[in-house]
Amino acid sequence: MAQVEIATVPYTVSADYFAEVGADFDTGAVDDAVLAQLNLLLPAGVVVHRNGKAYADEDAAESARQIDWTALLAGIDVDQILADNAK
């Protein structure tokens, strides 16, 4: 089934947050883990790619455009992901 672009999602952890927590992390692994968690929270037929672009199957696109990305991202335990990806 064809997919359509529905949003751009800023899922990566900011450099400011890394500086705030003050430790050394594998930033690529952290971002990958956040992305994996985000994709697990999405309904079937919706996916966010590594470049931040979100796509949905054509038949799910309208409802997918209503996704509250901020709320989904807030539900991800970034501190645990950081703990799991310390250098």
Q: What pTM, to 2 d.p., does this model score?
A: 0.90
At 18 the pLDDT is: 86
At 86 the pLDDT is: 81
Q: Is pLDDT at 25 greater than 90 in this prediction?
A: no
Mark 8-43 as b/e (b = at least 16 C-beta within 10 Å): ebebbbeeeeeeeeeeebeeeebbebbbebbeeebe
What number is the average pLDDT over the span 42-64? 97
At 51 the pLDDT is: 97
Q: Is pLDDT at 68 greater than 90 in this prediction?
A: yes
Q: Is pLDDT at 60 greater than 80 in this prediction?
A: yes
Q: Domain boundaries in the chain?
A: 3-84
